[in-house]
Amino acid sequence: MTRADSPDLHALEDASRALRGLLGVVIAVERKFGSQQSPLALLRQIMEDPQWEWLRPLYQLIADVDHALHEGDLPVSEIAAIGAHAVALLSGVGAPVEQAFLERYRALLQTDPEVAIAHSTALQAIRKLPPEADSEAERLHARHQWAMRCKHRRHGQ
């Protein structure tokens, strides 16, 4: 099966697109309360300003997924691990919790309908990813493989 024929990779591309849409909505909502600036200045602020650090887990996940998609073939087990990671990040269930992200994100989710809609769209796309293995050992191995892929990318190894 080629990359173009892989339904799991197509589903991952859709999930990544939905996560990018969610990130865009969250940033737009957060910008309502701050000063308007150029896109480049905003990007710099998001990457460097401690006030935006809470959002790092979401944009890091998106960057990792997009990089992995660009690299090529991903095992189905890692695609499933990505889905589990994304669900855990957005819901706070099933993996180590990103507390700072969840506190701010949940507040936006409860107060802004655009965030709620984008959240729902992202979860629908993520749920189309393959499920994780039934075996805990297989799940942990796939999650470890995904974590190592991300670590190597971030550290340029």
CA neighbor of 106 nearest in space, from 94, 118, 91: 91
Q: What is the pLDDT of residues 74-89, one digit of tens each?
A: 899 999 999 999 999 9
Q: What is the pLDDT of residues 112-154, one digit of tens each?
A: 999 999 999 999 999 999 999 999 999 999 999 999 988 888 7
Task: Give dist(CA 142, CA 82) in Å, integer.
Answer: 9
- Contact residues for 17 (Cβ-Cβ < 8 A; gap 6+): 125
- Band (155; pLDDT cuts 50, 70, 90): confident
Question: Which pTM value belongs to this model?
Answer: 0.86
- What is residue 30's predicted lDDT score, i.e. its pLDDT? 83
Q: Which has more pLDDT, 154 or 109?
A: 109
- What is residue 37's predicted lDDT score, i.e. its pLDDT? 67
- Residues of the domain holding 61: 3-154
Q: In the block, which residue shows the tokens 């991300």?
A: 150
DSSP characters over 53-69: GGGHHHHHHHHHHHHHH
Task: Give dist(CA 122, CA 139) in Å, integer.
Answer: 22
Structurally, how many domains does the chain consist of? 1
Average confidence (pLDDT) over 34-63: 80
Task: Give dist(CA 57, CA 19) in Å, integer.
Answer: 12
Percentage of the chain beyond pLDDT 70 is 89
- What is residue 93's predicted lDDT score, i.e. its pLDDT? 79
Q: What is the pLDDT of residues 91-103, one digit of tens each?
A: 987 666 788 899 9
